[in-house]
Structure 1
Amino acid sequence: MVLAIRDVREHDLDAVLALNNAAGRSILALDSARLRYFYEHAEYFRVAEVDGQLAGFLIALRDGGQYDSPNYRWFGEHYPQFMYIDRIVIANNYHRHGLGRVLYCDVHSYAEVRVPLLTCEVLLEPRDDVVVLFHGTYGFQEVGQQRMGKDGPQVSLLALDLPSYAYVRETWLDKGGLPDVPWLTERSMPSPTAAGARASAGRQHP
Structure 2
Amino acid sequence: MSIVVRDVLEHELDSVLALNNAAGPAILPLDAARLRHFYETAEYFRVAERDGTLAGFLIGVGGHADHDSSNFRWFRERHPAFFYIDRIVVASRRRGGGVGRAFYADAQSYAELRYPQMACEVFLDGSNDPVLLFHGSFGFREVGQHVMADTGMRAAMLMKELCSYPWVNQTYGKNLPNVPWTAARQLPGDQLAARPTGTAL
Q: How does the TM-score come out when normalised to structure 1?
A: 0.89
Structure 2: unaligned runs, 5 residues or longer: 192-201
Deviation (angstroms), 1:63? 1.1
Residue 192 of structure 1, CA deviation? 9.4
1:191 matched to 2:186? The reply is no
Give me the identity figure in percent.
53
Please name the residue that 2:106 is paired with. 106
Structure 1 stretches of 4+ with a deviation exceeding 2 A read none
> Is the 8 Å Cα contact of residues 3 and 102 (structure 2) preserved in structure 1?
no
Residue 159 of structure 1: SS of its match in structure 2? strand
Q: Is it true that 1:5 corresponds to 2:5 in the alignment?
A: yes
Q: Give yes or no for contact 1:40–1:192 (8 Å, CA) kept in 2.
A: no
Aligned positions, number: 191
* Mapped partners of 1:35, 1:126: distance in 2: 28
Counterparts in 2 of 1:16 and 1:53: CA distance versus 1, 3 Å: same
Per the normalisation by structure 2, the TM-score is 0.91
Unpaired runs of 5+ residues, structure 1, are 194-206
Does the 8 Å CA contact 1:148/1:154 hold for their aligned counterparts?
yes
Q: Helix, strand or coil for the counterpart of 2:188? A: coil
- Does residue 178 (structure 1) correspond to residue 176 (structure 2)? The answer is yes
Aligned equivalents of 1:139, 1:92: Cα separation in 2: 24
Q: Could you tell me how far apart the structure 2 residues matched to 1:99 and 1:134 are?
A: 12
Contact 1:118 1:162 in 2 (8 A): yes
Higher relative contact order (CA 8 A, sep 6+): 2
Tell which structure's C-alpha radius of gyration is larger. Answer: 1
Paired AA for residue 155 in structure 1: A
- Displacement of 1:2 in angstroms is 3.7
- Report the Cα distance in structure 2 between the residues aligned to 1:167 and 1:88, rounded to whole angstroms: 28
> 1:199 matched to which residue of 2?
none
Q: Which residue of 1 aligns with 2:142?
A: 142
Q: Per-residue CA shift, 1:140-177, capped at 9, x if unaligned?
A: 0111111001552110100000011000001001xx61
Corresponding residue number in structure 2 for 1:132: 132
